[in-house]
Structure 1
Amino acid sequence: MSDYEDGMDVDAPVDLEDNAVTFSSKQSSGKRSAANLPVEAEDTLPWVEKYRPDTLDDVSGHQDIIATINRFVETNRLPHLLLYGPPGTGKTSTVLALARRIYGAQNMRQMVLELNASDDRGIDVVREQIKTFASTRQIFSSAPEAGGAKSMATYKLIILDEADAMTSTAQMALRRIMEKYTANTRFCIIANYTHKLSPALLSRCTRFRFSPLKEADIRVLVDRVVEEETVNITAEATEALTKLSKGDMRRALNVLQACHASSTPLHIKGQPIPKESDIIRDKITTTTIYECIASPEPADISLIVDTLLKTSDVSSCLSLLNTLKANKGLALADIIASIAEELTKLETPAQTMVTWMDGLA
């Protein structure tokens, strides 16, 4: 049996009056208030979780996808969903916000089964846990919609995060369950790569691709976190952070939190703990961001490119590369990728550019 059913054969009644979906009063803030954590516990949360959106309207970017999913819910015609794309683009946040909209924070426990990459999702899990959860129906459900339509709140929701890590045997068993229990269960499958999923699963889902977020979308949330957490950061460092995140919101927030923590002075043993407002933190600069990500700084890359273009002495270029690797702990692959990006900014004949890129590759 699933953890959400507490060993019971039937689900507990879902208290939905007139199909109204209720939300906690704190959800409008956009923070993860559904956990009802005390202030001390919430302050220790990773910022990725603390600022995870509670509603679909709070999800950054992909407004066309959000509008389509909202329409599915409003018309009670939610199909099986497949959300795929690179990490940190809002796939899991979108599904959790969708579940919160349909069931409300109080009813998610008995109506939603979530399995992620840390769970065992072999054939036994599909046959036992997923099948058992999908096969049980609600005895008490909300009143039907006008015209006898079934409310979305009466369906169960199974979220399979990182589904591309499932074994092929488990995927084959899952497709039959999706067909058999469509009357009372909906599946939300989340994956990074669709080529690792079986064609049978793909054909049973409505697919949405989550592309890397735009820098403007990442900047909006980063600026909000900087303001609410009183992060001492320069405008140039914020710009570098949004650029280096490469469309990954999770990476941007993790790097920002790491830099914020490193800028906080250590507490001296035996001294009284200062108030948050009295702590003087170091300024987070562009150098701080690049060092945290272990990425070469633009000034270093410009120096390498200028050396390559102005001299035919290969040994001096190699010496410069080795110095950067030794002093800053940079990876050669990152340096070469940055050099290639810098070279593409130059105005050169196409054939010359092809020769350069081929040599770097």
Structure 2
Amino acid sequence: MAPLLQSSQPWVEKYRPRQVKDVAHQDEVVRVLTNTLETTNCPHMLFYGPPGTGKTTTALAIGHQLFGPELYKSRVLELNASDDRGINVVRTKIKNFAAVAVGSARQGGYPCPTYKIIILDEADSMTEDAQNALRRTMETYSKVTRFFFICNYISRIIEPLASRCAKFRFKPLTEDIMTNRILYICNEEGLNLDSEALTTLSSISQGDLRRAITYLQSAARLFGSSVSSKELISVSGVIPGEVVQALLSACRSGNFDMADKEVKNVIAEGYPASQMLSQLFDIIVEADDISDEQKAKICKKFAEADKCLVDGADEYLQLLDVASTTMRAICNMP
């Protein structure tokens, strides 16, 4: 039974770094936090940066390294965006946990300092009222509780909270770092990945290592030990390059019926319109034969269509609107 459980474990968890020093590419953060762990003098912290760069991993690793497996559950409270984190939770659950004092209980080589840790993942999705309610709690119980805020956008954390924390910015992972980690996982799992597939995986995951590992595991489950670039694209939800190029070519032709046909094909295949906009944007911005003025007109329409899609507009109509605007801009139509 054990091997079955092992094989069903997500690779994101299986290969998650267990210690702060193992977190990849965040050298400044690791250096400062390693010193913090040695002294156990831990301030309130704010980790921010793109998804999949090691923020949550680092917070969890600090908790495990300070308290060890036995005391971790009683000393660390984790709350994610999926939990109710409105003002009532701040006033009850968080306040009650923060208020309880703890003694020093050094166990099994772990320092176990005399404070607890509350980890608030995706803190930028907390309401402003809830964030304001935390201010007093942080000050009142700072001797016995430390707060770790984790978010993608530091601008969504109110200034009074941000100013109470030591801030750590997590950088997007470079292609080299991601490649090394993916190759390590492939070696451990007995997978074959050629250089083209590696480049594709790095491209479609956009610096998010968690996403890259998830795509890799999905492809391995579906296609076995040898995974190609095409197979990675099929599990990732990214639209194949030839489909995007076909729509762009129809726009360049100046033939509205041809563009309409390609848009219908995209919708019929079930590709998300927002993903098509994202990939079209990348191609058009880098195109040498389109002037800056034309790019500006097209990208303005991309922004409008993206907002409409977020608000629940019809995907076919929005994509057709984008295609017709792109056609008029490229072909200099009125």
Q: Please report how far the alpha carbon of residue 197 of structure 1 lies from its aligned counterpart in structure 2 after TM superposition.
A: 2.8
Asked if 1:293 is matched to 2:233, the reply is no
SS at match of 2:227: coil
TM-score, scaled relative to structure 1 = 0.73
Structure-to-structure mapping, 1:227-266, within 5 angstroms: 227-263=187-223
Q: Please report how far the alpha carbon of residue 303 of structure 1 lies from its aligned counterpart in structure 2 after TM superposition.
A: 4.2
Q: Please report how far the alpha carbon of residue 245 of structure 1 lies from its aligned counterpart in structure 2 after TM superposition.
A: 0.5
Distance 1:257 1:358 in 2: 37
Distance 1:171 1:294 in 2: 35
Two-structure CA RMSD over aligned residues (Å): 2.7
Corresponding residue for residue 186 of structure 1: 146
Q: Which of 54, 57, 60 in structure 1 is aligned with 2:21?
A: 57
Q: Which runs of 4+ in 1 moved over 6 A?
A: none
SS at match of 1:105: helix
Q: Please report how far the alpha carbon of residue 86 of structure 1 lies from its aligned counterpart in structure 2 after TM superposition.
A: 3.0
Distance 1:343 1:165 in 2: 32
In 2, are the aligned partners of 1:73 and 1:152 still within 8 Å (CA)?
Answer: no
Corresponding residue for residue 351 of structure 1: 293
Q: Which moved more, 1:175-184 or 1:72-81?
A: 72-81
Q: Which of 62, 65, 79 in structure 2 is aligned with 1:101?
A: 65
Unaligned stretches of 5+ residues in structure 1: 1-36, 144-150, 264-280
> Compared with structure 1, are the counterparts of its residues 203 and 298 closer, same or farther at alpha carbon in structure 2 (3 Å cutoff)?
same
Give the count of matched residue pairs. Answer: 299
In 2, are the aligned partners of 1:294 and 1:329 still within 8 Å (CA)?
Answer: no
Unaligned stretches of 5+ residues in structure 2: 304-334
Distance 1:127 1:336 in 2: 42
> Compared with structure 1, are the counterparts of its residues 340 and 158 closer, same or farther at alpha carbon in structure 2 (3 Å cutoff)?
closer
Q: Which of 322, 325, 341 in structure 1 is aligned with 2:282?
A: 341
Distance 1:337 1:170 in 2: 34
Distance 2:279 2:74 in 1: 49
Question: When you count helix as a share of all residues, which structure comes out higher?
Answer: 2
Q: Please report how far the alpha carbon of residue 39 of structure 1 lies from its aligned counterpart in structure 2 after TM superposition.
A: 4.8
Q: Which amino acid aligns with 1:227?
A: N
Distance 1:334 1:292 in 2: 14
> Compared with structure 1, are the counterparts of its residues 132 and 39 closer, same or farther at alpha carbon in structure 2 (3 Å cutoff)?
farther
In 2, are the aligned partners of 1:142 and 1:154 still within 8 Å (CA)?
Answer: no
> Compared with structure 1, are the counterparts of its residues 79 and 216 closer, same or farther at alpha carbon in structure 2 (3 Å cutoff)?
same
SS at match of 2:98: helix
Distance 1:66 1:180 in 2: 29
Structure-to-structure mapping, 1:1-361, within 5 angstroms: 39-142=3-106, 153-263=113-223, 281=224, 283-309=226-252, 311-326=253-268, 328-348=269-289, 349-358=291-300, 360-361=302-303
Deviations 1:7-52 (A, max 9, x none): xxxxxxxxxxxxxxxxxxxxxxxxxxxxxx9554332211111111
SS at match of 1:217: helix
Distance 2:33 2:144 in 1: 19
> Compared with structure 1, are the counterparts of its residues 139 and 358 closer, same or farther at alpha carbon in structure 2 (3 Å cutoff)?
closer
Q: Which moved more, 1:350-359 or 1:211-220?
A: 350-359
SS at match of 2:69: coil
Corresponding residue for residue 330 of structure 2: none
| Identity, % of aligned positions | 34
In 2, are the aligned partners of 1:84 and 1:210 still within 8 Å (CA)?
Answer: yes
> Compared with structure 1, are the counterparts of its residues 111 and 38 closer, same or farther at alpha carbon in structure 2 (3 Å cutoff)?
farther
Q: Please report how far the alpha carbon of residue 128 of structure 1 lies from its aligned counterpart in structure 2 after TM superposition.
A: 3.2
Q: Which amino acid aligns with 2:236?
A: I
Q: Please report how far the alpha carbon of residue 55 of structure 1 lies from its aligned counterpart in structure 2 after TM superposition.
A: 0.8
Q: Which amino acid aligns with 2:50?
A: P
TM-score, scaled relative to structure 2 = 0.79
SS at match of 1:201: helix
Deviations 1:268-325 (A, max 9, x none): xxxxxxxxxxxxx37422222222222222233344444544x332322332343344
